[in-house]
């Protein structure tokens, strides 16, 4: 059970809170959760996104991801529905098969946000993707066996890589009990 807290400041998207023990954190004002999608094409290409993230001042390589319940009149949007919407908006793909991999905190010392990871297969390209509202998302396709090296190469270019990519690959491998060679190393 969450400790009681007081609201210090409410922005359009985030609320800044403080507990009675003076622990400060943020919570989303406009969403009920976050989703991240490990999407893999039939030829074993992992679909990754890249976009500029102002908090870190750099481009970040990530799984397609987004918020659930952040659209007016759709506040009770199911998480899998949000995942399907985000995958299509960001990458242009729709998926036939959806499996929930796991859920967990994104940064428990900073926020109460939970991220639910989904595994999407049976992909069909419907649009170019790229995001909405000027997100300017670039889509990358990396063979699952090459993900670690490819991500390290992006880091050497000065980009950041979200570690949820590796967690999702590990979870998907565990789920499928794959007998293939190691996915990312």
Separation CA 138–CA 51 (nearest Å) = 6
Return the DSSP state at 109: T
Average of per-residue pLDDT across 13-32: 92
SS3 128: coil
Query: Could you give the domains of the chain?
Result: 1-30 (no CATH), 32-176 (3.90.79.10)
Residues composing the chain? 185
Separation CA 16–CA 8 (nearest Å) = 5
Phi, then psi, of 105 in degrees rounded to 5: -70, 150
- For 166, counting Cβ atoms within 10 Å of its Cβ (0-12 exposed, 13-18 middle, 19+ buried), the class is middle
Q: Which of 22-36, 51-65, 69-83, 168-182 has the highest mean pLDDT?
A: 51-65
Strand partners, 93: 125
pLDDT digit string, tens, across residues 124-141: 999 989 888 888 999 999
pLDDT digit string, tens, across residues 65-111: 999 988 878 888 999 999 999 999 999 999 999 999 999 999 999 99
Separation CA 150–CA 146 (nearest Å) = 6
């Amino acid at each position: 059970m969450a400790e009681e807290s007081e609201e210090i400041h409410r922005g359009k998207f985030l609320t800044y809170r403080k507990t009675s023990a003076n622990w400060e954190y943020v919570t989303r004002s406009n969403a009920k959760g976050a989703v991240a999608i490990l999407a893999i094409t039939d030829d074993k290409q992992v679909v990754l996104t890249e976009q500029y993230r102002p908090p870190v001042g750099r481009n970040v390589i990530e799984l397609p991801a987004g918020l659930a319940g952040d659209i007016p009149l759709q506040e009770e949007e199911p998480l899998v529905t949000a995942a399907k919407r985000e995958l299509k908006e960001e990458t242009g793909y729709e998926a036939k098969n959806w499996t929930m991999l796991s859920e967990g905190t994104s940064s428990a010392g900073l926020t109460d946000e939970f991220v639910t990871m989904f595994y999407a297969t049976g992909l069909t390209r419907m649009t170019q993707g790229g995001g909405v509202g000027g997100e300017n998302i670039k889509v990358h396709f990396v063979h699952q066996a090459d993900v670690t090296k490819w991500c390290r190469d992006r880091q050497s270019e000065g980009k950041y890589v979200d570690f949820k990519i590796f967690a999702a690959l590990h979870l998907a491998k565990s789920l499928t009990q794959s007998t293939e060679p190691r996915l990312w190393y």
